[in-house]
Amino acid sequence: MKNEMLAMILAGGQGSRLKKLTQNIAKPAVPFGGRYRIIDFTLSNCVNSGVRNIGVITQYQPLVLNNHIGNGASWGLDRLDSGVTILQPYSSKEGSKWFEGTAHAIYQNIDYIDSINPEYLLVLSGDHIYKMDYEDMLRVHKEKNAALTVAVIDVPWDEASRFGIMNTDENNRIIEFEEKPTEPKSNHASMGIYIFNWSRLREVLINGFTKNVPMVDFGKNVIPAYIQSGDNVFAYNFSGYWKDVGTIDSLWEANMEFIDDKGGLNIRDKSWRIYSKNPIAPPQFITQTATVNDSMVVDGCFVAGKVEHSILAANVQVKEGSTIKDSVIMPGASIGKNVKISRAIIGENAVIGANAEIDGTKEIAVVGNSEVIGVKTDED
């Protein structure tokens, strides 16, 4: 049986710009919005778009990510005609298959893709917060008879030089690609979302690697090669909320925008739900000493302090006398008494001892996963 479109999620990046937060987990597994991990958005978009065959390419610190995805049951991907497969680098007769870039990671998994035998290959990043209908993108891809369609979003002109910019003609055909141009000619930034005709991409990758013209990266190598060889490359314009959460600042910002939905992600829209692996925890307990305003709180939390414009993920404890402002507290973190936290991201299972002060006024403060700050007393 031929499967129409297979999604490959690139989830192997180290995410070194997230510093302490990705010390022991892959970037797509970093918690987001109190209830999610970053990859949930991409996985849910796939399921909501009717894409039910998904390969997740992992490499760096995959334990938490693998555990989170499991057999895909949380996204309804455990059915007989669908599936999510974790693809980890491995050694074979041809040597080690460690991934050197985005396109190289696809090349190393040709065997897996061939086993699904898709007509189209959807390539996705696992570290973006957005809601997008890939089925509509496929419709446009077919309509234009494209060999490759690249999803683009218009970014503010003054930020365009930070992105891969697609210069298009009046038919929305991409005629030039510039990676981080100093003087951008357009503001159509690549979202790192591609639809390829698989047979053509397969040929391009194998050709490249066998003839020593390595096709390591999509941006650097593959897209320019497509344009040069005259393949039909089209842009697909996306205009909703989209956030690359690859840095501490952008991760913090995206969380802050998530609280009151200023960004317009519309997370409560039931027609496009974001699914996640849901832990089982008792309801959240807010005591008589607590005040909670303009904040999001999740099951299993115990709040006795003051929480303002912040997100508390599952099983977070905030003791009496503590104040949390403009911050993200990740699952299982424990905040002792009389602690002050402002503009910070507190990692999973971190422990903040009594009277500690974490101030991110100058630069967003980060406490790593399981990191212990201050002295933990018995009472905490």
Partner 1 sequence: MKTNKLLNNKMCAIIGNEHEYNGLLPLTSNRPLSTLYFDCKYRIMDFALSSVVNANIKNVFMIMNEGRIKSIFDHLGGGREWGLDSIGSYQYTSFYQDILRRKAEGKTYFDDVIDYLQKSKATYTVFISNKILANVDLRAVLKIHQNQKNAITAVFKRVKREDIANDDQILELSENGAITDTKKFNDLSDKDDIYNLAMGFFIANTDWLINALYVGQNAGASTSIEEFLISELTKAKASAYEYTGYMSNIYNIKNYYKANMNMLDPEKFNSLLFSSQKVITRTKNEVATYFSATSEICLSQFATGCIIRGKIDHSLISRRSLVETGAIVKDSIIMGSANIGENAIIKYAILDKNVRVDPGVKIEGTTDKPVVIEKNKHITADVFGG
Short-list 78, 77, 83, 133, CA closest to 112 = 83
- Does the protein bind partner 1 through residue 285 (CB under 8 A)? yes
Contact 308, 329 (CB under 8 A): no
**Partner residues linked to 152 by β-bridges:** 190, 237
Q: Is 203 annotated as a binding-site member?
A: no
Nearer to partner 1, 60 or 275 (CB): 275
Out of 291, 359, 363, 375, name the contact with partner 1 by CB under 8 A: 291
Please give the Cα distance from 12 to 57 (Å, whole number): 6
Q: How many residues bind partner 1 (CB under 8 A)?
A: 35
**Rounded to 5 degrees, what are φ and ψ at 261?**
55, 40
Q: Give the shortest CB-292-to-partner 1 separation in angstroms.
A: 5
Beta bridge partners of 318: 303, 335
Shortest Å, Cβ 130 to partner 1: 16
Beta-bridged to residue 151, according to DSSP, are: 236
- 47 touches partner 1 (CB under 8 A): no
Q: Give residues with Cβ within 8 angstroms of 296, minimum separation 6.
A: 33, 34, 258, 259, 310, 311, 312
Residues within window 295-314 making contact with partner 1, judged by CB under 8 A: 295-299, 311-313
In the list 1, 293, 361, 379, the residue contacting partner 1 (rule: CB under 8 A) is 293
**320 labeled binding residue:** no
Rounded Cα distance between 278 and 349, Å, is: 17
Minimum distance, C-beta of residue 229 to partner 1, in the bound complex (Å): 44
Is 143 annotated to bind ligand? Answer: no
Figure out which of the listed residues 2, 211, 268, 362 binds partner 1, where binding follows CB under 8 A: 268
Beta strand segments in 99-240, E: 118-125, 128-130, 148-154, 164-168, 174-179, 188-197, 233-238
| 180 annotated as belonging to a binding site for a ligand | yes
The amino acid that residue 355 corresponds to is N
Query: Closest separation between CB of residue 151 and partner 1, Å?
Result: 25
- Among 14, 117, 287, 377, indicate the residue that binds partner 1 (CB under 8 A): 287
Nearest-approach distance from CB 296 to partner 1, in angstroms: 4
Spatial distance between the Cα atoms of 183 and 310, rounded to a whole number of angstroms: 38
* Residue from 110, 140, 290, 372 binding partner 1 (CB under 8 A): 290
| Selected binder of partner 1 within 4, 67, 73, 117 (CB under 8 A) | 73
Report which residue type is found at 252. Answer: W
Report the DSSP pairing between strands 233-238 and 36-37: unpaired
Residues 145-174, interacting with partner 1 (CB under 8 A) = none
Quick check: helix, strand or coil at residue 237?
A: strand
Q: Does 211 bind partner 1 (CB under 8 A)?
A: no
Q: Which residues are annotated as a binding site?
A: 164, 179-180, 190
Residues that bind partner 1 (CB under 8 A): 33-35, 73, 259-260, 267-268, 273-276, 278-280, 282-288, 290-299, 311-313
Please give the annotated binding residues for alpha-D-glucose 1-phosphate, written as ranges. Answer: 164, 179-180, 190
